[in-house]
Amino acid sequence: MTDNYRQLSFMRLDVGEVNFLVDPKSGFNDSTLYETLQHYCDPAYLQEHALDVRFCGGRGQTMLFTLGPKDIGALYGPVRDFALEAAKSEQPLQTTFPLCLRFYRRGGLIGKVLKEGFWRWSKTAQRARAEFELTSQLYAEGFPVPRPLLAREGFNHCFVTNALVMEQLPHTQNLAEILEQRALTPEEIILVAHTLARFFKAGVYHSDLNIRNILFTEDSSACYLIDFDKCSRGKLSQGLVTQMLSRLERSFTKEQELKEYEEARLNVPAIMTLVRAQVAASVKHLPQDKWQQVRTLISAVQAKLSALRAQGPWHKK
């Protein structure tokens, strides 16, 4: 157990070794049954017991659903009488809990044969654990990310299957959804830049920074970053920040080409110029990566040689 999660492990004859990572504030403990935890990762069970079930994302890998107080169990802490707690605290009764179940599925040619299994000795096999650990850490530190509640990893012979349950962010829209209605305001663009800068300064590398992974609340007062699959936290270089912002720019450009937005609706160069300026002002003194240093050195040498040639006796005035 860590400060951000605890692990509950099971050995099952039917499925093999299964680990569940749960929020430390949940009511799950060593006496919790496997079936109790498995229900939150079982699409068939959720389709029968949950409300507002729908699938989205590539390869149908994300399931959105809502549970009521009777079905939420100990996911948010020891089993409680929500009506009694609401009456005591004089707060509105929470009657719905919007959640998200993500499956980790393979793409490409191999995905046609092996959809969910990842080679268990691969460094990236335990993707649910990695995303749960990173997102739990960020959430605990107050970063604008969804709250992760439960992760599942199953080991079967040579492969690992992964699943992750987290809260939905209600009353939010991603940038692509906002652009379908209107242009982004300068204030929203600056808030995006400041949000990204906060993650960058904390050493967070986001492997898929695109307009569908950046969300705003309805009143545009808060900006969130989602989808931390294959992301990491460490020492960022200037090259990695440039790479992430270039990926964000490509997603804007792709959306513009797909939807054929006019410049008044989506001016990609203007947006990215503002984002880059704001990020540069906030994120300073990042080291350059190895090859960036080499390129910088070569450019400096070339500039020096050009200056010497211009000043030499062979230079024709």
How far is residue 35's CA from residue 287's CA, in Å, rounded to a whole number?
Answer: 48
Residues paired with 225 in a beta bridge: 214
Quick one: 31 exposed, middle or buried, by C-beta within 10 A (0-12, 13-18, 19+)? exposed
DSSP state of 202: T
Whose structure tokens read 């545009």? 220
| Chain-centre distance for alpha carbon 146 | 8
The vertex-172 CA angle with 93 and 26, nearest 5°, equals 50
Answer yes or no: are the C-beta atoms of 244 and 289 closer than 8 Å. no
How far is residue 193's CA from residue 282's CA, in Å, rounded to a whole number?
Answer: 9
Residues paired with 20 in a beta bridge: 8, 152
130, two tokens: 């990695």
Q: What is the CA radius of gyration of the chain?
A: 24
Would the CA dihedral through 224, 230, 236, 238 be positive or negative? negative
- The catalytic residues are 208
Maximal CA-CA distance, the chain: 92
H helices within 202-267, ranges in order?
238-259
